[in-house]
Chains A and B, each alone.
Chain A
């Protein structure tokens, strides 16, 4: 299967927020009331029950004009995902569509992924089980993997009426992004394609009208070295040690038992 991505062209966005609502509608997420923060933005940031937030950013131009910059912000589905590396339970994994999803059965709600994420896109939701006990699970945008499996588009891309969010073939969309970038360069000199290579690209690629930092995106996100060491080296070695120890214990137990048998049945014929 050809690789697919979600392309978000912020210059086409008119800030209607249908992506936010359609996400809640498809994923049956409860609404979250927030106080007025002094801007048009409805929610301050992504939360466990608000998987995508349309950010409104007022930016003064050098010529005295104003740029009102919108961005559909949600999980970027990094190719090298820090959350996946941070997860001690291997509850976070990549799907065949390149989306990063949380296995809610395995997740223990430790919150390591929340700290690891460079984009603040994953959060812990608190639930109450049938005994009244609180438990937590990591929640974030799934890129509507359940819809993708059925051949549908993500809910946000379906709802978007300006075509700012499109989902489709990776190569096709990336080349169309280059064309679009050439078109908007005159209006937005700082425009760029945000597909950070430090994490081998993301499955949500942005065409930004200004520098990533203006949109609150890290210039060059990376998976922390400590996490790589932990997940790719320390953890497997630790498991191996655990395995080796278990093997040694069981092995020696059996060997001792056999020896004992030897002693009892064959008298003192065998000595160590």
Chain B
């Protein structure tokens, strides 16, 4: 079998092209691992305080539009220095969870169902009940001593309250309304 120069060039070109195609299949080492998009890129974090226990860790909240995409311990916060416990790490769900209740709920006496009510109704109901209960159960004197208290209402505070809020709440509930049962959610 004899080749002309032209045929030889054609053949070698075809071989080169075939090799090039086949080579593509071999080139797997160069394939760089692909990772996903950096989800907090260009997002400005908002600092906040963890609402759960009394330690009061700092948290950075990364929000995009009206969605919270990530929360993380605040590395600049002196208490937790960026770390968080398992509960504080879930703080994103306070906003994103489907189970979150966004409207005041009311269960009427004797009813077994919660129903949504508006804020005006809820606040008025609470105020009315506090007034009614306090008036009914207020103790002015006990064993000759002035006590001015009510034992029928309790107040439960939360770890998200700061000193100033706690001071105001003490003023309102202990000094103002005469409550003695004042407690805190994060009492361990």
Contacts and interface: CB of A to CB of B under 8 A. Distances in A.
Interface of A: 16-18, 20-22, 25-26, 28, 90, 93-95, 101, 103, 105, 142, 145-147, 149-150, 155, 158-161, 236, 239, 242-243, 246-247, 250-251, 254-255, 258-259, 262, 270, 272
Contacts of A250: 14, 18
Interface of B: 1-2, 7, 10-11, 14-15, 18-19, 21-22, 25-26, 28, 31-39, 41, 70-73, 80, 82-86, 88-90, 92
A233 B41 CA distance: 42
A16 B87 CA distance: 9
Given A25-B89, A93-B31, A18 B84 contact: yes
Contacts of A26: 39, 70
Sorted from nearest, which 5 A-B pairs have the closest CB atoms?
A: A243-B22, A161-B83, A21-B89, A17-B86, A18-B86
B22 A18 contact: no
Contact of B33 (A103, A147, A155, A258): A103
A161 B80 contact: yes
Nearest to B3: A258
B92 A25 contact: yes
Contacts of A93: 31-33
B18 A246 contact: yes
B169 to A, nearest CB: 29
The main secondary structure of chain A at its interface with chain B is helix
Nearest to A235: B28
A258 B90 contact: no
Contact of A90 (B28, B41, B72, B83): B28
A251 B70 contact: no
A270 B2 CA distance: 7
Nearest to B15: A251
Given A25-B89, A25-B90, A239 B82 contact: no
B14 A159 contact: no
Nearest to A247: B18
A247 B71 CA distance: 56
Contact of B38 (A142, A146, A246, A258): A146
A103 B34 contact: yes
A105 B34 CA distance: 9
Nearest to A165: B83
Which residue, of A21, A101, A145, A246, has the highest number of chain B Cβ atoms within 10 A?
A21
A272 B1 contact: yes
14 contacts: A18-B85, A18-B86, A20-B86, A155-B72, A159-B72, A243-B19, A243-B22, A243-B25, A246-B18, A251-B11, A251-B15, A254-B14, A258-B7, A270-B2
A272 B35 CA distance: 57
A60 to B, nearest CB: 27
A145 B33 contact: yes
A159 B85 CA distance: 7
A151 B25 CA distance: 34
Contacts of B72: 22, 25, 155, 158-159
Which residue, of B14, B32, B92, has the highest number of chain A Cβ atoms within 10 A?
B14
A236 B15 CA distance: 20
Contacts of A272: 1
A236 to B, nearest CB: 7
A251 B14 CA distance: 7
Contacts of B37: 146
Contacts of A270: 1-2
A21 B83 contact: no
A26 B60 CA distance: 13
Given A93-B33, A94-B33, A251-B11, A160 B38 contact: no
A55 B10 CA distance: 66
Contacts of B26: 236, 239, 243
B126 to A, nearest CB: 34
B35 A158 contact: no
Nearest to B2: A270
A258 B1 CA distance: 11
Contacts of A246: 18, 21-22
Nearest to A19: B86
A146 B84 contact: no
B183 to A, nearest CB: 25
B58 to A, nearest CB: 13
